[in-house]
Every structure is written in C-alpha cells, then in structure tokens.
Structure 1
C-alpha cells in the first residue's frame, strides 16, 4: 500500500500515519514497512530479500521459469490497467508541449533516461536531468506550454513529489507513471498511468516494475509516433543516419 491507501483504509490523514511511524522511532512510512517486512520474514531471510517466489534451493531453470512468469504477469496486469482515454490525454499533452521533461530519482531515473533516449529519436524537445537539484530547477522554469512525465513506483519519493508540485504550480501538464492510484504524487498529476506489479519494501528496483513502466512508455511512444507520423519518420531517419557510422 501507498501511505495514502493505508490512510484511507484506516480512516485517517496521511500525516497521522507519518506521526505513528515517528512515534515508533522510524524516519517515516518506508522505514516502518521495511521493519515490518523483516518482522514477518521467513527463516531464510535471503529468500525474502530476493523474491517471494524464488527459494535458495531453486535451480537456474526454476529461477528462469519463475522470473518469466513474474514478468509476464506484470505486463498482463499493466495492460489491464491501461485506460485509452488516459493515454490519449497524455499524448495530447506531449504533442502540444514545447518541451517534454522526464523526471525520476534512483531506479526511476534509469527509466526516465530510457524514455528520453527513446523519444529523442523522433523529437528534439525532450529533457532529462540526472541530478535531483537540476531536476527541480528545470521544474521551476516550466510553464503552461511544457509537459512533465514523472516516474515513481511508490508515488512517495520526496524529490519527485516536490518536482511534481512545482511543475503543477508553474502550469505545466503533469503525467505520472506509478503503481498506486492514490499517493502523494498522484495529487499533483493531470494523468495517472498505473503499472501492474507488486514489490515488497525489501525488493525495490525490481526489473518487473521497470518492465511495466517501460511498457507504458512504449505505448506513449507508439501513439505519439502514429499521430506525428511525418515529423517522426523524418526525425527517426535523421537520428539513425547520425549514428550509422558508429556501427560496424
């Protein structure tokens, strides 16, 4: 659960959950979740850190089979969560924007950089800073003609929430890719795209979560390409030619 989901279930405010965690001498909700996960983990803690499905006795073939099933399940659930109207709205924002900023920290930054790498092949208006300070400075200079794509599995990452809040205040269109429909991040989002994968607090940065996020970005890319076909084809050819001499 996100902190907002838990607060709703308990019938209290997010701040009440945070104060509860502080009362137990935790820095916040995420540290509380990690401690709770440790307290209910099986005897073999290595298994719990690795995956809820994989055991230390599994063969390579068994590990491969379980990971394949996990990734397929994540993609299927993400596919079932896709709403056509949300994708259309998000692509409208991207097409009409003068600049498209991709934001993320930690593991989500890698996904944001991958998104920029994909979109920059068909448009010259993408940006992605690798430092949280640079990201929030970019957000401070956004306006109503810009679009922000914010990537955060939990939707509770402080830096990303601050960036989303500032981008929203500046009038930019905000699109978030996250796991939870209710989270501090989604409160500042014009469009919410949900990835369908669950990971425990001791299994963060799982590839299945990244694959789900990339799947959503691929959908946005394909729809963007389709609706800007002439420009995208020309740009794709130019960027492809630019790197052709780098290949054997």
Structure 2
C-alpha cells in the first residue's frame, strides 16, 4: 500500500463493501482529518457500526488493520505546504530535532484545545478532598504514574503507586472510601486498567483518568476524564512514546493545585526541599 493513496483505495474498494462497511467509508471520506485521531471504538460509534466492522473495513481496503490504515490516511490528508516533516535522520540532527519538537508543540496545543475545564476543576476538587491518591498504570505509562505520585506528594498529597499488576489489584481492593483512583492510559483500553477501575467503581471509589480517547472504556469507568491528543503513533511508525502529554497534564494540575487555598503546596514543597538540601552537592 506504500504507493497507493488511501482515499483512492477506499473508492476502488467501495463497490465490494457491504452496507455496514460503506457507512464507514462514507464517514471517512467526509471526515478524513478527524478520523486520524479516532480509536476503533470512536469511529465505530460515529459510523453507527460495530468495532469488528471497522477492522474488516480496514483489511478490505488493503491494510493490516485500523492502525496501519490511520497512518496512511494521515499521510494522505496533510497539506504538503503546511505539514511538519516526519523525517528523522541522525545525519541531520538539527532538522530532526526541529521536526520532533514541532510535533510535541502541536500535541500540547491540541490538548489545550480539547481538555475540558470543568473536568479539570472536578479533578482538583477530588484530589484536594481525598485521603490518599492512588495511581494506576501499565506498560509505558508506569513511569508517568511514578512521576505523578512523586510530584503530588511534594504538594502535600498522600500518594500511593505500584507498578506490578498484582500490587495494583491489591491496592484497588484496599482503598478507603475517601481515597481517589488516578489512572493513566493512552489507549484507555488496557485490560489490567479496566479491571482496576471496575473494582473501584463497584466499591464506589471516585476516580480520574488521563487518556487519548475520551470515549474509551476506561473513560466510561471514570468520574473525571482528562483528554490528551497524541499524534506520534500516526506520524512516527518506528517508535512511539506516549508519556509526554500525560506528564504535561499532570504538571498543569499541580500548578493549579498550588493555587488552591485548602492546601499549602508551596510550604510543603519548601519544607521538603530544605530538609533534602543536605543530600545535594
């Protein structure tokens, strides 16, 4: 499919598509740019079809799956006059750094546009009033959970973080009624994360999640959802790091939290820094 335009592939395959698959094709042809940032579930909902239909459609038009279809579609629709280059070359470090940073800046701008301010306020209220803040994550998101736990603890919030599935499941069952679960998952569909949040929901524990897919299963299980925008998976096929945007959102929450009069985040952080100064050289 490398030399075959995605839109042309859809048009060529259209006569052989079933009725449900044609619904998908028609939606994509009308909203190609929006589709590049959708999950399988989101596109299925917009097209009024099942998730399985999206997968079948992607294969029928010549791709291994929906992920590969999105990569090709994204490359097709970007305006060549305004697009940011995806080229990375160790022989041209300056241009490569410019390209990478340009994408990061674009992600931050898009996240700022889509993040819901009411959800942010609700998240801050939950955090300020909780007994303990439990962080949950899996795979590549685990370092973000550890980072978040450390940062919030510096602001005077009691935090708990575990990185193994066994300890996270145990933590979900041991949380108190005034604790808050904070999940971090780019896809919002990681099985372990869904298990944890199903437990907290059944136990009526309040929860927050950061995810790139606002209508993901994890978002449906959460009381507050903070939506981030990710483009790396589409534009950088060889390597994808999904950690930066959740960390930016966490930093934003911390800065807003520092202005909350209920807690004295600055004083707590200053006390910690003064005590730890003797370990720094």
Give the TM-score, by structure 2 length: 0.72
**Correspondence for 1:137:** 170
Alignment partner of 1:215: what SS?
A: helix
Matched residue, 1:111? 144
Cα drift, residue 242 of structure 1: 2.6
Residue aligning to 2:40:
3
Partners of 2:106 and 2:122 lie apart in 1 by 26
1:244 aligned residue: 277
CA distance in 1, matches of 2:245, 2:133: 21
Which consecutive unaligned segments of at least 5 residues does structure 1 have? 25-30, 43-50
Deviation of 1:91 (Å) = 0.5
State the 1:35 CA deviation: 6.6
Q: Which residue of 1 aligns with 2:86?
A: 53
Between the two proteins, the alignment pairs up a number of residues equal to: 228
Confirm whether residue 99 of structure 1 aligns to residue 163 of structure 2.
Answer: no
Given the superposition, is the C-alpha separation of residues 55 and 247 from structure 1 closer, same or farther in structure 2, using an over 3 Å criterion? closer
The 1:6/1:227 distance shift into structure 2, 3 A limit, reads same
C-alpha spacing 1:57/1:91, structure 2 compared with 1 (3 Å): closer
CA RMSD across the alignment: 2.9
Q: With structure 1 as the length reference, what TM-score do the two structures score? A: 0.80
Deviations along 1:186-213, whole A, 9 cap, x unmatched?
110111111122232745642xx42211
Q: Which moved more, 1:96-105 or 1:115-124?
A: 115-124
SS at match of 1:119: helix
Report the CA distance shift for 1:38/1:235 in structure 2 as closer, same or farther (over 3 A).
Answer: closer
Contact 1:123 1:232 (C-alpha < 8 Å) held by counterparts: yes
Return 5+ residue gaps in structure 2 as ranges. Answer: 1-37, 76-83
Q: Kindly indicate whether the alpha-carbon contact (under 8 Å) linking 1:143 and 1:171 is maintained by their aligned counterparts in 2.
A: no
Contact 2:86 2:99 in 1 (8 A): yes
